[in-house]
């Protein structure tokens, strides 16, 4: 009996320090998450509950996360760009196959329950579970570092059987210096196979080399269960100044992008989305460099709403303009079961199916050195595996330079 009691005491004494260490680690992690949430979620002037479960906080313009950066503490907010690119195309209304009316404007779900007052910006509130889904607090809101050869269209075929492999179907130009880009893209809700995968459609404005000093500004729509906790289609931005190593993030999840618009919430759900062989809904995005201040601006929607800007100080290689512009889709192929993912790109259908079935970008434009929007020359295409996702370009009087893109991922020709 004494021996049994002694053994129990020994086990207890061995267990107590282990438990205490685990408890201390847990408390430390909780404190780190709490502090990170506090830095992201600024005190709101007003909060709006979105039908999809998001909470949209209306925070004062000068209290946004961008101003946590030491270099922005005394920054004077630029409330409007000094220059817009000239020669903007009028957006062509897309006809629905179900009616003779033009497509309805795309909205954000939170608009159904309210709006943010002047002098504030809408910010999607970050929840504890959002942060805990990330591999670490440091990595929350950031893209996983990718094999950058995949982003270099002229490179050799990359190895696609790697964990977190990124695949694309894009159109691109790289023969000039570019000071912005514009396009209109239709919006879908692609199906995602694994929570750690995503599907997006966006514009990339790129400068620098792919060996570590890449500057990238990105904007479009995405479905990302890992980032947002659901399968909703959401408006997003991204930036990096060091090839996705340590700088940059999505939306307003780090210091960087400065928002001035009180109507659009980055990372919030957008609706309606296009339906197969049905109504098509699209959005227009313009990214451009202010030739006076050097800041990079974003404009969204047919109503030409200026959302905000990336301060010039964030970038080195984009200071003199971009050397590469890309439009198109990207997915993560985690190949978790040894097969290609079934995560869809765009509509999930190949470009050969055409309008109302395939996803598209239309009215491609670039901004030149004289701040003029013009039709790009020598548009090329790139995809890693055309049997999984593909891209086809074209030109006509209404859509200018356009392309269809996307695909289903795994199929009989894409094992």
Are 228 and 125 in contact by the 8 Å Cβ rule? The answer is: no
Check the CA dihedral 302-306-307-312 and report its sign: positive
Q: Which residues are catalytic?
A: 218, 330
Q: Reduced to 3 DSSP states, what percent helix, strand and coil does the chain have, rounded to the nearest 5? A: 20, 30, 50
Are 307 and 220 in contact by the 8 Å Cβ rule? The answer is: no
CB under 8 Å to 361, separation ≥6 — which residues? 171, 183, 184, 185, 201, 327, 328, 402, 403, 405
Helix (H/G/I), strand (E/B), else coil: 250 = strand
What is the spatial distance between Cα 84 and Cα 290, in angstroms, rounded to a whole number? 8
Six-digit token pair at 175?
């023969």
Residue count (the chain) = 415
Q: Using alpha carbons, list the distances in angstroms from residue 34 to 15, 30, 132, 133, 232.
A: 28, 6, 11, 15, 26
Burial annotation 213-239 (CB, 10 A radius, 16+ → b, else e): ebbbbbbbbbbbbbbbeeebbbbbbbb
CB under 8 Å to 303, separation ≥6 — which residues? 105
Q: Using alpha carbons, list the distances in angstroms from residue 197 to 143, 151, 286, 319, 333.
A: 11, 17, 27, 32, 7
Residue linked to tokens 């190895």: 159
Work out the number of other CB atoms within 10 angstroms of the CB of residue 396: 9
What is the spatial distance between Cα 348 and Cα 277, in angstroms, rounded to a whole number? 13
Question: Which helix (H) or strand (E) covers residue 271, if one does?
Answer: strand 270-271
Of 238, 203, 229, 221, the closest CA to residue 345 belongs to 221
């Amino acid at each position: 009996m004494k021996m049994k009691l002694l053994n129990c005491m020994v086990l207890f004494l061995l267990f107590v320090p282990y438990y205490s260490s685990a408890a201390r680690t847990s408390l430390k992690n909780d404190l780190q998450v709490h502090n990170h949430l506090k830095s992201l979620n600024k005190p709101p002037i007003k909060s709006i509950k979105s039908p999809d479960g998001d909470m949209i906080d209306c925070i004062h313009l000068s209290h946004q996360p961008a101003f946590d950066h030491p270099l922005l503490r005394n920054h004077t907010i630029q409330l409007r760009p000094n220059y817009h690119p000239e020669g903007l195309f009028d957006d062509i209304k897309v006809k629905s196959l179900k009616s003779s009316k033009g497509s309805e404007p795309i909205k954000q779900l939170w608009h159904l329950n309210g709006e943010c007052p002047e002098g504030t910006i809408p910010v999607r509130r970050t929840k504890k579970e959002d942060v805990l889904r990330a591999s670490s607090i440091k990595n929350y809101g950031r893209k996983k570092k990718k094999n950058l050869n995949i982003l270099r269209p002229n490179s050799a075929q990359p190895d696609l059987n790697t964990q977190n492999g990124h695949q694309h179907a894009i159109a691109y130009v790289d023969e000039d210096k570019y000071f912005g880009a514009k396009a209109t893209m239709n919006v879908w809700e692609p199906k995602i196979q694994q929570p750690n995968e995503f599907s997006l459609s966006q514009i990339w404005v790129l400068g620098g080399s792919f060996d570590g000093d890449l500057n990238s500004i990105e904007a479009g729509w995405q479905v990302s269960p890992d980032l947002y906790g659901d399968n909703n289609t959401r408006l997003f931005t991204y930036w990096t100044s060091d090839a996705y190593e340590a700088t940059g993030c999505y939306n307003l999840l780090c210091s960087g992008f400065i928002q001035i618009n009180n109507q659009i919430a980055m990372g919030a759900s957008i609706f309606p989305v296009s339906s197969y062989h049905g109504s098509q809904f699209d959005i227009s995005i313009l990214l451009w460099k202010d030739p006076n201040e050097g800041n990079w601006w974003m404009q969204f929607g047919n109503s030409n709403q200026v959302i905000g800007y990336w301060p010039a100080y964030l970038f080195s290689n984009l200071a003199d303009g971009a050397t590469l512009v890309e439009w198109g889709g990207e997915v993560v192929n985690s190949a978790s079961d040894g097969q290609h993912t079934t995560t869809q790109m765009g509509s999930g259908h190949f470009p050969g199916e055409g309008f109302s079935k395939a996803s598209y970008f239309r009215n491609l434009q670039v901004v030149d050195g004289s701040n003029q929007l013009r039709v790009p020359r020598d548009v090329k295409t790139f995809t890693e595996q055309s049997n999984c996702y593909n891209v086809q370009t074209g030109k006509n009087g209404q859509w200018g330079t356009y392309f269809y893109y996307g695909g289903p991922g795994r199929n009989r020709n894409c094992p």
